[in-house]
Structure 1
């Protein structure tokens, strides 16, 4: 059996036992061909810096595994060579290969056994698909990469998917958003185990935020409401998306829906989970996000076109919904495109 790699500390001193030795927590990472390399390397480095963890890598079979980028990684273990007992923290990586990995019965069985017995079962990015397939997310609230949230919700209705947070804790199950968010998750796990001072020391050394500003809303439009179930609500929703900057007060929407304002208010909220006013605001914010990322129009022009009226109203609403200012959003995401290896 291949020897596991110890994650020895280079910075803050973690908690020690009465005998003075560092209490090591066993972390097992699950990877597969086509995994996202940062889903492994990022959290691994955080645990390494914290100094109280022993890290092991498991794949469908021991040996060389290639990330979606082509990066080769040696997995010391496979389901047949590593006991599922005694795992403190299970970390399942994501990546484009996760969907095929769900068909590996031996790997899925090992994840189910290890995740059920571990103190914590966690996923990074689309690793949530493997945890869900293993039955570990039933009845849980989780997150994943914003661009894959809708698929996860559709394929696993037993799971409550929230595409906005950077990471989510639901009892002993933790999940994170895409790629680099795995480091945010690992820092939170370290803080949970060893305290804020140790986590802060790790974050400083790795030049990370201990608490990243904003949420996934700054990176893309995620799954945030259900689909309308009736024709009147469907008509109202269609009119909102067709022209976010138009008048969409309850009377205008009710006229398009062909029902009374009070009836529309009740049905809209019941079917979509949010009231009409909140829905309109979020659609307008999405329209502003696209305009900021794809064009060079001034914020004032975008505010008028998207229905906010003034640049100040857009700034206030954008900051409340997305967590950053419109100008900061443009600086981060103008003319960027997402790859396809999630």
Structure 2
């Protein structure tokens, strides 16, 4: 075959030769999100390690050749911090407070009270949050955010065991003692210890999407995800009083959720007049009898819905009487209706590309 000869002038006139050497539009690569986890002496180890591992695992799932989605740093005022478990670990120094930051995570722990009493650290948190796109706290780390004035007028949560102290110290904060985590604008707070993992998974989902968060949950063998409105602990536990005077009543209620649980019936069961029972019960549990019964019914309904039971059957067996009453109670307690709750959290129901969450325990990633 004869060779094709093309002179330089003819080649230069071709459209391909006149195109720029580099494409005019380069593919957009998401920038790495900087994350700083603030520590101090007496920090709770899992408050640091839990969220840190969630973000680190998200980095492991980054596509080949793409930058890691998170740049991670554990920072403190000292070079070394000893956690409550007695484990010392090295930390990076506190960066300049005005340096741009994507996410600030403030861990909790027994040392948070001393941290709140440190004006320099509190001031750094206040200024650092102003430079961050998103500020979060884990467990009692909310105390440090509140000390910096970042939670005034906002809804927030902290460890259940410190809610009373928090409410006394920071009355300007709209404390909600029940949820696993709370988002109020650019500030996220989480409940105790392991709830920091739930919070971090929610942050990954907000940044990278549901599939990425699910992959991380599978790798870590954790739930994806407990609903943000789910209580920190069971309703029966939350209703316990120090003297235990209503424990038998609570056990009876749980065994008879479909029965008449009116104030008159409960008062008779407790051998009190309705007025006296209502007053003593609220003093002991912090709730009215009606709200306590509703909470116990909602919790039982959640378990049945997670097992895949039909909504109508759940409404009947848990004593709601109708699906509409069940729906109103769910919206009041959890912020979602029973149908949506069942779709998200029923055992064995997968995402299927619809954006629904899995409540079932995630299996380990079989590809790893």
Query: TM-score by structure 2 length?
Result: 0.59
Residue number among 59, 75, 86 corresponding to 1:70 in the alignment:
86
Q: Provide the C-alpha distance between the structure 1 equivalents of 2:70 and 2:235, rounded to a whole number of angstroms.
A: 31
| CA shift for structure 1 position 170 | 1.0
Residue 242 of structure 1: CA displacement?
A: 9.9
> Which residue does the alignment assign to 2:151?
137
Counterpart-to-counterpart distance in 2, 1:219 and 1:275: 13
Q: Is residue 50 of structure 2 the alignment partner of residue 42 of structure 1?
A: yes
Deviation at 1:218, TM superposition (A): 2.7
Provide the C-alpha distance between the structure 1 equivalents of 2:58 and 2:87, rounded to a whole number of angstroms. 25
Match of 2:231 in 1: 215
> Is the partner of 1:199 in helix, strand or coil?
helix
CA distance, structure 1, for counterparts of residue 294 and residue 106 of structure 2: 35
8 Å contact from structure 2 (residues 297, 318) kept in 1 = no
Deviations 1:135-178 (A, max 9, x none): 11111111112222222122111112222211111111101111
Any unmatched runs of 5+ in structure 1? 1-16, 225-237, 259-263, 289-311, 324-342
Aligned to 1:189: 203
1:277 — aligned with what?
Answer: 290
**How many angstroms does 1:60 deviate by?**
2.5
Q: 1:140 to 1:222 in 2, by over 3 A?
A: farther
2:37 is the alignment partner of 1:29: yes
* Residues 18, 34 of structure 1: alpha-carbon distance in 2 compared, 3 angstrom cutoff: farther
The residue number in structure 2 matching 1:300 is: none
Choose 1 or 2 for highest CA Rg.
Answer: 2
2: CA distance, partners of 1:220 / 1:21: 49
Residue correspondence of structure 1 range 112-191 to structure 2 within 5 A: 112-191=126-205
CA root-mean-square deviation: 4.0
Deviations 1:214-264 (A, max 9, x none): 53133984599xxxxxxxxxxxxx997896569984458695548xxxxx9
| Alignment correspondent of 2:357 | none
Name which of 96, 103, 111 aligns with 1:89. 103
Residues 243, 275 of structure 1: alpha-carbon distance in 2 compared, 3 angstrom cutoff = closer
Shift of 1:276: 4.4
Equivalent-residue separation in structure 2 for 1:284 and 1:212 (angstroms): 19
For 2:47 and 2:245, the matched residues in 1 are separated by: 40
Deviation, 1:82, is 3.0
Q: Give, in angstroms, the shift of residue 201 of structure 1.
A: 1.3
5+ unaligned residues in a row in structure 2: which ranges? 1-24, 60-68, 254-259, 301-316, 335-340, 342-368
Deviation at 1:281, TM superposition (A): 5.4
TM-score, length-scaled by structure 1: 0.63
* Whole-angstrom CA distance in 2 between matches of 1:175 and 1:45: 18
Question: How many residues get paired?
Answer: 257
Is the partner of 2:104 in helix, strand or coil?
Answer: strand
Contact 2:107 2:137 in 1 (8 A): yes
3-state SS of paired residue (1:27): strand
Q: Distance in 2 between matches of 1:217 and 1:203?
A: 21
Contact 1:126 1:148 (8 Å CA) reproduced: yes
Matched, 1:54 2:71: yes
Please name the residue that 2:19 is paired with. none
